[in-house]
Amino acid sequence: MQKNNLLEAINDPFLFKLDLLEIQNLSLKFNKFKKKKLDLKKKINLSISSDYTTTYLTELLPLFFANHGIDSNIYESEFGSLNFLSRDLNNNFWNNKVDIFLLIPSSKNLKYLPKLNEDTKTIKENAKKEAYFWTKIWKNTKKNIIQTTFDPTFDSNFSQIDGVKFGGYLHYIRLVNSILIENLPSNVGLIDIENLIIKNNQTKWNDNKIYNLTKQPYSMNTLPFLAKNICSIASGILGLSKKVVVLDLDNTIWGGAIGDDGIDGVLLGEETSEGQAYSNFQHYLKNLSRKGIILCVCSKNDPKISKEAFIKHKHMKLKLEDISVFASDYNNKADNIKKISKILNLNLDSFIFFDDSKVECEFVKTKLPEIMVINLNDDPSEFVEKIESVAPFYFKNITKEDLSRVNSYRKITLFNAERSESKNLDGFLKSLKAKITLEKINKVNCKRSSQLIAKTNQFKLNSKLFSPKNLLFKKEKCIPISFKDKFQNYGIIGVFVFSINKKLKTLFIENWVMSCRVFSRRIENYIIDYLKDKSLRQKCDFIGFNFNITKKNLYLQNFLKELGIKLNKNNSSYLIKLNKI
């Protein structure tokens, strides 16, 4: 495999669909490849423990992490270690300096698989005991955990009705899994093994022969699918899942070309199977928008004609108010997508582009390699399945800020329009009637705060992660920042975490992030003044922090320079005298 092929594979969202042998060869080559040549956005340490053999899975994970923009350092514990590690929470495994634990338990180690004629009450109580064992582990671990649900067993109690009858092994496993889901804390992400089996219907999942040979229960061909899903959830935890969908129009959200066929000529609605498929796709997109994914249009069409379809076509599920930026003209799509990125103030690596044209997809992929590109040139009834197979979105902890994000970005365009018309920035900012609130960390805002720390790039001191549990543990040393003005209530738009070292007379900022939605409001100046005042009251002479210079945090770099701080690419540790800020 040539180097270019390796780079192409790393950038291919459908890497998991390649032949297993090819993926294994790519993994071997990747391990020898100099990672500095790749633009990997995050670096993580991952510890794996399982009741199964994970050697073959672990060999593939670094390649799939790179496929998700992550540089990974993986520690694999011994075979079958999870059974005893889960019973010894003081083991060094749990104290390792890792960002994420990956736990893969086995249904073979469930203690209370039902016996024949066991009564329903006993089965339910046993399932609760089984689940409680794991929820206790979760409560004692502040770091992020990715864990697989219990997998269906090879054998059964009641043959074909095993999953729908109390006392069936499959029914019991589903019962335990459902209790785990009901008690899932914010720092744990579950991988639904049964759902993977259903979606991976072209490959046999369980393999008795492989299990007897290697103590790995799933077939070798399922490993890429499992690796992809592990990395997708890790990507979501790290804030690397996609936030913006950029849509073509013709033969993408409706059938036909509206410029040629007119509004009444496009395929949309229940009259035809193809029209129904496009309607279903629009319904899927609208649901994404409701969960905080930003929808934009990038189409080579007359803007008046294309917008008219959103207003007048009786079967349009998407409306103009669902679209945050509408770029419909005859300029090349790569340039238009860059303009959309600038308007939203979001990095291109948070974008995913859908288009039916292979030419347009290849052009955008070549010009903007940061963007995930999916060519929808096949049956529209398979669009959703194709997109979901890549798992580009992550909806573990949906916050109120997520639910209002689409409206928030529409308001930002109003803000930018008024600001561009104003000649006096100070006067304009005063006219906004802005209010900044420094909140106490609690069980509600800790999820949003953890989410911001993970996914923010443009205003972020360093890569240190905090799970919601970590932040709650910090108490008054973690302060979420909420903001509102005359345009809207933005909710939690930032958070900073600090500690006090009285011996060194230093207030140390462990991390500080702010959403790009509120840049240029001088909120950062307000926070610096607060930290200086806090330092004085704690009798500190210095403010310290670790700052990693990246291509994406130019806004923060400029702000630090404005404070008189000299940045050093070779040293990330800063200790600044209060009177020098």
Instruction: Name the H helices within 271-318.
Output: 273-290, 303-312
What pLDDT score was predicted for residue 37?
73
Q: What does the pLDDT look like over 289-311, one tens digit per residue?
A: 999 999 999 999 999 999 999 99
Instruction: Report how far residue 305's alpha carbon sits from residue 6's, in angstroms, rounded to the nearest whole number.
Output: 43
User: Residues 291-306, buried b or exposed e (16+ Cβ, 10 A)?
Assistant: ebbbbbbbbbbeeeeb
361-416 pLDDT, tens per residue? 999 999 999 999 999 998 999 999 999 999 999 988 777 777 777 777 777 766 76
Single out the residue of 148, 350, 346, 406 nearest to residue 238, CA to CA: 350
DSSP 95-128: HSS-SEEEEE--GGG-TTPPPTT--HHHHHHHHH
Please tell me the total number of residues recorded for the chain in this structure.
581
pLDDT at residue 186, rounded to an integer? 85
Q: Please name every residue paired with 496 in a beta bridge, in sequence order, or none if there are none.
A: 479, 512
Output the pLDDT for position 423: 67
Q: Which two tokens stand for residue 448?
A: 């949003």
pLDDT attached to residue 405: 75
Dihedral sign computed on CA atoms, order 215, 221, 225, 230: positive
pLDDT at 204: 80
Q: What per-residue confidence (pLDDT) applies to 397? A: 75
Give the sheet arrangement for strand 144-148, strand by strand: 70-76, 42-50, 100-104, 144-148, 188-191
Between CA 168 and CA 162 the distance in angstroms is 4
Those residues whose C-beta lies under 8 Å from the C-beta of residue 390, and which sit 6 or more positions away, are 13, 14, 372, 374
- Report the pLDDT value the prediction gives residue 166, as an integer from 0 to 100: 94
Backbone conformation region of residue 501, classed left if phi is above 0, alpha if psi is from -120 to 50, else beta: beta
Please name the residue that has the structure tokens 């019962």. Answer: 175
578: how many CB neighbours lie within 10 A of its CB? 16
Tell the residue number behind the tokens 């001191």, with chain if given.
Answer: 461
Report the C-alpha gap between 72 and 155 in whole angstroms.
36
The DSSP line for 385-453 is HHHHHH-----SS--HHHHTHHHHHHHHHHHHHHHHH-S-HHHHHHHTT-EEEEPPP-TTHHHHHHHHH
Rounded CA separation 412/294 (Å) = 13
Residue 500 near residue 536, CB atoms below 8 Å: no
Record the tokens describing residue 439, joined without a space. 């909140």
Token pair, residue 342, equals 């600038």
Predicted pLDDT at 420 = 67
188 contacts 135 by C-beta, under 8 angstroms: no
Cα–Cα nearest to 346, from 516, 512, 488:
516
Q: What per-residue confidence (pLDDT) applies to 261? A: 85
pLDDT score at 519: 86
Q: What predicted TM-score, i.e. pTM, was given to this entire model?
A: 0.83
CB-neighbour burial class of residue 502 (10 A; exposed 0-12, middle 13-18, buried 19+): exposed
Residue 114 near residue 172 (C-beta atoms within 8 A): yes
Residue 256 tokens read as 């036909």
The C-alpha torsion from 56 through 44 and 40 to 497, rounded to 10°, is: 160
DSSP state of 248: -
Residue 122 has a CB neighbour count (10 Å cut-off) of 14
Place of tokens 């009705």: 161
Q: Please give the angle made by the CA atoms of 353, 8 and 244, to the nearest 5 degrees.
A: 20
Terminal alpha carbon distance of the chain: 53
Q: Phi/psi at 526 (nearest 5 deg)?
A: -60, -40
Question: Residue 571 and residue 549: Cα distance in Å, rounded?
Answer: 10
What pLDDT digit, counting tens, does each position of 135-191 carry?
A: 999 988 888 999 999 999 888 889 999 999 999 999 999 999 999 999 998 889 999
Confidence (pLDDT) at 533: 95
Question: Residue 2 has what pLDDT?
Answer: 47
Regions of the chain short of the pLDDT cut 70: 1-4, 413-414, 416-423, 425
- The rounded radius of gyration (Å) of the Cα atoms in the chain is 26
Phi, psi at 465, each rounded to 5°: -100, 155
